[in-house]
Amino acid sequence: MAYVQVSRNVTIGILALQGAFAEHQTALQGLSCQKKIAVVLVRSAEDLPTCDALIIPGGESTTIALLAKLAGLLEPLRTFLQKKPVWGTCAGAILLAQAVENTKKGGQELLGGISVTVARNGWGSQVESFEAPLSIDGLRDPTTPFMGVFIRAPVVLALHRSTENPPIEVIARLPINLVPKSQKLMVYDVDDSGPYDSQSIVALRQGRHMLTTFHPELTKDSRFHEYFVRTCVLPTLL
């Protein structure tokens, strides 16, 4: 079981409008801590002020954005992420991006927060979903691979590095040899450093925010949840 040392109670919100929010809740509740991590399922703006951080789950980003708009949550979420850490998984990662390609007709609302461009469904459709073992240095027990579950996952097309934004730190890449042969890799030649360079990124951090294009919440491995709390959330509470 992953272990996090916390000096005060931590409250983590999970945006609970659609998608795999219950799985994130289970993962957070499974973390072993000195003090409890309280979980708030966020469904309205009134749920946000008690949260020290937020997780936006995988699901369907257009639907989550629409429901957030209907709930009057878009602006409160944008304000929240200017001050507090947010982690987006898959659809959540799309919502945290600065720009998105391959949207549904009419486009979609984004929250922004991480200066990347992503492509929705960049690895293909639902039937082309896949799993791949990832080796990730910053996790506890780094020699044990973390199973990345990619379900209609977004692909990172470009990193927009600038002096105005905190640096982007790549946490995990998907080695090209692990991309199943059935995948039609969308090659958008937008990144100067080479077409696969940004597209291989499947987890990154920028300042206090993090995105993973896969679903750590759909595994029994809570090391990513522990990593988020340890590296993104706890430093903001000091």
Give the relative orientation of helices 74-81 and 61-70 as an angle to the nearest 10 degrees. 110
109 belongs to the catalytic site: no
Among the residue ranges 80-88, 90-98, 139-147, 220-228, the one whose residues contact ligand GLN (CB under 6 A): 90-98
With contact defined as beta carbons under 8 Å apart, do 172 and 136 qualify?
yes
215 belongs to the catalytic site: yes
Q: Is 120 a known ligand-binding residue? A: yes
* Buried b or exposed e, range 85-114, using 16+ CB within 10 angstroms: bbbbbbbbbbbbbbebbebeeeebbbbbbb
90 belongs to the catalytic site: yes
Catalytic residue, candidates 23, 51, 209, 215: 215
Cβ neighbors of 99 (< 8 A, separation 6 or more) are: 110, 116, 117, 118
- Decide: is 60 part of the binding site for ligand GLN (CB under 6 A): yes
Q: Is 173 a known ligand-binding residue? A: no
- Decide: is 151 part of the binding site for ligand GLN (CB under 6 A): yes
Return the residue of 21, 27, 56, 58 that touches ligand GLN, per CB under 6 A: 58
- The radius of gyration computed from the CA coordinates of the chain, to the nearest angstrom, equals 17
Pairing of strands 130-134, 146-150: antiparallel
- Decide: is 225 part of the binding site for ligand GLN (CB under 6 A): no
Q: Is 25 helix (H, G, I), strand (E, B) or coil?
A: helix
Question: Any idea which residue has 């708030």 for tokens?
Answer: 40
Max CA pair span of the chain? 48
**x/- binding map, residues 96-135, to ligand GLN, per CB under 6 A?**
------------------------xx--------------
Among residues 11 and 26, whose Cβ is nearest to ligand GLN? 26
Minimum distance, C-beta of residue 61 to ligand GLN, in the bound complex (Å): 3
Annotated binding-site members for L-glutamine: 59-61, 120, 151-152
Which residues lie near ligand GLN (CB under 6 A)?
Answer: 58-61, 90-91, 94, 120-121, 151-152
